Structure 1
């Protein structure tokens, strides 16, 4: 097996967030080579400009800015936090749902940046400011888990446990202070856009509503255009409703599975992850792979 094939195989075995981290690293390297070595600033068309008229001619930048970073440590910090947040959430929730939180956080962060710079403070970010970084998406995931499961913990430096809720409070306070001091205002406005999305998503999910369901359908429909089309025709038999409370068997099983997940998550919220039985942990792990 060639080196390229080996790398391709390893990439394909990663989960979606592992692939996102790799993509961010590759984009950073390509950006460095094009901008710093060759002198081509093509990536500027993928950064989010603060001026709305500039944004109109590159609307894709409302999402693509989240895959660009302005320095090695900016990239490193975001990817490390994304790695730990993804590990904490994807065993408990559908991977696609967590991807919704992350991508919608980037969108909300971009919209907050544009809104503040164009409607409130004309000189808020200085002349022709730009926004880059995945921080808004990471912020959305952080507040999502802090609100939905405030007692969930992470073990730091293999020495002590810290609740995600306390980590979220720390970052929100720090970001608010830096925003008031005028440090990198555009970036911290985007952070708060992500925090808002994470909060809304968590609160709605606690009420039984998947806030990102429409966004997920949109992304699936876009992704379908890039999948190879099969010439085979699938014929579906019409299925009548069975005796499962007016639902098909598949719908009934999905309903019961979600109810069990909700009960386990409620137990985690009240007593922590370690209060789960081995069977419940295994069930959550398998559910997270679906």
Structure 2
């Protein structure tokens, strides 16, 4: 197969240390682009948080953000978006408020908190972005172009319980999913990184067989399975390593760049 679309996760894959792109990975991306490959990012992050990473690559890259709810290039071209209905946003916010859950919304690519608690502070540090503290009434006002809502918990068990409650209450109106142990994300049904890959490939006229994805975490599995070929990072969880066609070096060893040269460009 020839790889025409290469899709990468961010944390633990493209980003050694989770913060900045290494020079080695930047060079690998640029060489792939020069060879005619479209390189794209797929992440649960908001567009504004993913944009600095994409810009560091120095190429015009379409970014799959909000776990597939928004596909937008570094220059601002929107390829696809799937926003939650304003009425649904308000009902989910009220549902969380009544249970004392932390919830944050993303409206028009701005981040909003009801309260500036420890969850909000930790999220800002992790994503290197600042949100707006607007209170519960304020969350009810910012309901346009909401790509997702996020409820942050204290761990995987609490997250799973919260997801169960949301599914019971909202049925197929929204799709609650776990993206990290303590992240309960609320997006539209059918939205996923895997769907983002399929949509982008179709838009670009690229066959599914000519796509490749790389990742490390359990929540990357759908997109890895959706791609024509898949690569697991050396630091990937066992489930990812078992599901992928190839395994590269660890993130801290620039396994992303190794994968590009070996599996995309056919070099050793």
TM-score (norm 1): 0.28
TM-score (norm 2): 0.29
The structure richer in strand per residue is: 2
The structure richer in helix per residue is: 1
